[in-house]
Amino acid sequence: MMTTTFLLVTISIMIGLLCSALLTRNWRNEIALNASLAIGIGLGSSSVIFFLGLEAFGPRPMISLVVELLLLATLATCIWWWRHLQPEKWDMPSICDSTTESPARWLPRLLFLLLIFVVVIKTAVFMAQVQSKPHGDWDAWGIWNQRARFLALAGDGWPRAFSRIISWSHPDYPLLIPGSVARIWLAAGELSSFVPAIIAGLFTIGVLSLLIAGTAFLSGWAQGYLAGICLLAANGFMDHAASQYADVPLSFFFLATLLAIGLHARLEQRKWLVLAGLTASLAAWTKNEGLVFFLLVGLTVVLVGMFKQGWRSACLDILYFLLGAGPGVMCLLIFKLHLAPSNDLVAGVRVINLEGQVTNLGRHAKIIKSFYHQMLHCFGLKSLWLLIGIYTPFVGIRVSQQLMHLSGCVMVLSGMLVSYYLVFLTTPYDLTWHLNTALDRLFYQMVPCLIFLIFAVLKSPGQKARVMPTLMHDLQVSLKPPALL
C-alpha cells in the first residue's frame, strides 16, 4: 500500500514539476516555486486523467497509469527540445533579485529557523488530528472519501456515486479529491484511510510552500518565510487541513492562480496566463466554488487586458488562459453534463421567494455581521491581522506598481466575497444554519491568498532604504514589450 502510494504520488508530482517548469520556462532558478506548484498541478492532472480513463474505459488503473507515464515522457521531451531550441529563453533570472531581497543576510536565516520550528509543531498537530480522526471530519467521510469509495469499489457501477438517493452528499461536487484517492486505492487494490490523509498532507505542504515560494518570488525570502509563519499561526489551518476537506486543496489552486495572474500583470508574459488557466480550471475541478472562481478569473483577465492594452490584447489573453484551462474544463463539462445531478443551491432557488430574500434587510445585516465576525474572530485571524497591523508601519508598503500588478488579484478575491454574499442571500436553506456550517470554510479558502497579497505589497524587513531601486526595477520590467509564450 505504502509503496504504491509513494510511487503514484511521485509520478503525479513529477508530472506537475515538468508541467510547471514547461509553463514557467524556469528550471534552475525557481525550483522552489515549481516544486510547490507541482504538488497541486500534479495531483490535479492525475485526477483528470483518472476520471477521463474511468469515463472511457471504466475503472482500469493500468490505463490511467500508462497515460500518466506517456504524459511524463512527453513533457520531459518538450522541455529538452525547447531548452535546446531556445536556450536563451530558459532559466531567466528571478524577479526577486537584489532589489527586493533584504540586505540583512541574517534575517532570512533567522526567519527560516523560526519557520522550521513552527512547521515541526504544526506537523505534530496535523499528525495528532489525523490519528484521532482517520476518516476525517464530516464532509470528508460524508462527501469526498465516500465518493472515492464508490469510484474504487463499484466496478462498472461507479456512476451510482452520483445517485439522487444520496443527494445529501452533494453528488454534483467535482472529483479532484475523490479521483486522487480512488486512483491510488484502485492501483493498490486496497482501501486505506492512509491515502486521503496523505493527499490532505500533500496539499497542506503545497499551500504552505507555494505561499512561501510565491511571496519570495515577488518580495524576497524573508518576506516569504514571514508569510508562511503567518499562515501557520492562524489557529485553524492545521485542524482544517487534517479534516480532509476540499477547502485546503481549493485554496492551493486559488493561490496558484492569483500568483500567476499577478506575475502576468507584472512581467507581461502570457505564459503565466496559461498557468492561471490550468490552476483555475483545477480549482473548478475541486469544488463548485472553484467554478465561480474560474469564471471570475476569466472575466478579470479580459477586463484587465482591455484596460491595459485594448480588446485585441484582451482576446489574446483570454485565449492563452483558455489554452491552459482546456483539460480541466473538458473534464468538468463531461462531469457536469453527463453525470452530475443539479446543484441543490441552484435547484432550490425559488423565484417567488427571491424578491423577499433580497429585500429583507435583516438577512443583509445577518450576513454582514457573520462576514465581519469571521474576518476577525475565526481561526485566530484576529491575532494575524493584529500582527500584520503592527508589522506594517515598521516596514511600510511598496507604493510602486506592485499594487497595480496585484489589482487583478484583488478584483478576483472581491468578486469571490460578493458571490458568497449572494449565495447566502438567496440560499433556499435556513440562513443561520447555512452561515454556521459553510462560512468559515469559505473564508479559509481565501486566507492564503490574503496573506500572499498583504506580504506582496509590504516591504521586506530592512528594505526601507531601497524603495527607489524597487520602483525603477518595476518600471523597467513594465516598460518591456509584451512577450508571447
Partner 1 sequence: MVSINSDAFFKTDMDDVVAGNESRFKPVRNYLAGEKVIGFVSGKTNTPVEETVHYFIAQYTLAPVLVEHGPNRRLVIVDLQNDQLNIERLNPNLEIVKYLGSGVTLYRNRLVK
Which listed residue (51, 90, 126, 158) binds partner 1 by CB under 8 A?
Answer: 158
Q: Which amino acid would we find at residue 375? A: M
Question: Which segments of 243-297 are extended strands (E)?
Answer: none
What is the DSSP-derived secondary structure letter of residue 96? -
Binding residues for partner 1, rule CB under 8 A, total: 35
3-class secondary-structure state, position 172: coil
Q: Does position 50 bind partner 1 by CB under 8 A?
A: no
**Subset of 107-136 contacting partner 1 (CB under 8 A):** 130-135
Q: 422 near 364, Cβ under 8 Å?
A: no
Residue 217 exposed, middle or buried by CB count within 10 Å (0-12, 13-18, 19+): buried
Does 142 engage in binding with partner 1 (CB under 8 A)?
A: yes
Q: What is the rounded distance in angstroms from the CA atom of residue 107 to the CA atom of residue 49?
A: 44
CB 138 → partner 1: shortest distance, Å? 8
| Choice between 82 and 194, CB closer to partner 1 | 194
Stretch near partner 1 under the rule CB under 8 A, chosen from 193-201, 391-399, 456-464, 475-483? 193-201
Counting every residue, how long is the chain? Answer: 485
Cα–Cα distances in angstroms (integers) from residue 80 to residues 28, 63, 430, in the given order:
14, 26, 56
167 binds partner 1 (CB under 8 A): no
DSSP 193: T
In angstroms, rounded to a whole number, what is the distance separating the alpha carbons of residues 450 and 452? 5
Q: How far is the CB of 149 from partner 1 (least distance, A)?
A: 4
Contact between 168 and partner 1 by CB under 8 A: the answer reads yes
| Distance in Å, CB of 199 to partner 1, minimum | 14
The stretch among 185-193, 263-271, 347-355, 454-462 that binds partner 1 (CB under 8 A) is 185-193
Minimum gap (Å) between residue 145 Cβ and partner 1: 7
b/e per residue, 275-301, with b = 16+ CB within 10 A?
bbbbbbbbbbbbbbbbbbbbebbbebb
Closer by beta carbon to partner 1, 168 or else 479: 168
Least distance (Å) between residue 177 CB and partner 1: 15
Kindly state the cell numbers that stand for 325: 484551462
Q: Is 3 in the site for partner 1 (CB under 8 A)?
A: no
Which C-beta is closer to partner 1: that of 89 or that of 149?
Answer: 149
163 binds partner 1 (CB under 8 A): yes
Does 165 interact with partner 1 (rule: CB under 8 A)? yes
Give the cell for residue 37: 506548484
Least Å from the CB of residue 152 to partner 1: 5
Name the segment binding partner 1 (CB under 8 A); options: 192-200, 276-284, 384-392, 451-459. 192-200
| The three cell numbers locating residue 301 | 483577465
Among 105, 116, 121, 157, binds partner 1 (CB under 8 A): 157
- Give burial (CB, 10 Å; 0-12/13-18/19+) of 166: middle
416-419 own/partner pairs: CB under 8 Å, 24+ apart: 416/289, 416/292, 416/293, 416/296, 416/446, 417/371, 417/446, 419/292, 419/296
Out of 191, 218, 232, 234, the residue judged to bind partner 1 by CB under 8 A: 191
- Residue 396: CB minimum distance to partner 1, A: 48
Contact pick of 51, 126, 185, 321 for partner 1 (by CB under 8 A): 185
Q: Which of 166, 233, 299, 334 binds partner 1 (CB under 8 A)?
A: 166
CB of 155 to partner 1, least distance (A): 8
Q: Does 145 bind partner 1 (CB under 8 A)?
A: yes
Residues 6+ apart with CB under 8 A from 6: none
C-beta atoms surrounding 211 within 10 Å: 27
CA distance 412 to 301: 10
Does 183 bind partner 1 (CB under 8 A)? Our answer is no
Q: CB-wise, 131 or 383, nearer to partner 1?
A: 131
Cα separation, 64 vs 87, in Å, equals 33
Least CB distance to partner 1 at residue 132 (A): 6
Site for partner 1 (CB under 8 A): which residue of 153, 303, 349, 438?
153
| Alpha-carbon distances of 464 from 98, 104, 217, 387, 459, rounded to whole Å | 13, 12, 18, 19, 7
* Cell (9 digits) for 222: 524573508
Residue 269: φ, ψ to 5°: -120, 125
Q: Is 378 in the site for partner 1 (CB under 8 A)?
A: no
How far apart are CB 127 and partner 1 at their closest, in Å? 10
Nearest to 146 by CA among 127, 130, 168: 168
State the nearest-atom distance from the C-beta of 141 to partner 1, in Å: 5
For position 429 contacting partner 1 by CB under 8 A, the verdict is no
Residue among 143 and 238 whose Cβ is closer to partner 1: 143
Shortest approach of partner 1 to residue 137 CB, angstroms?
A: 9
Choose between 107 and 130: whose C-beta lies nearer to partner 1. 130
| Dist CA 332 CA 281 (whole Å) | 8
> CB–CB of 395/464 below 8 Å?
yes
Chain residues binding partner 1 by CB under 8 A are 1, 130-135, 141-142, 145-146, 149-150, 152-155, 157-158, 160-161, 163, 165-166, 168-169, 185-186, 189-194, 197
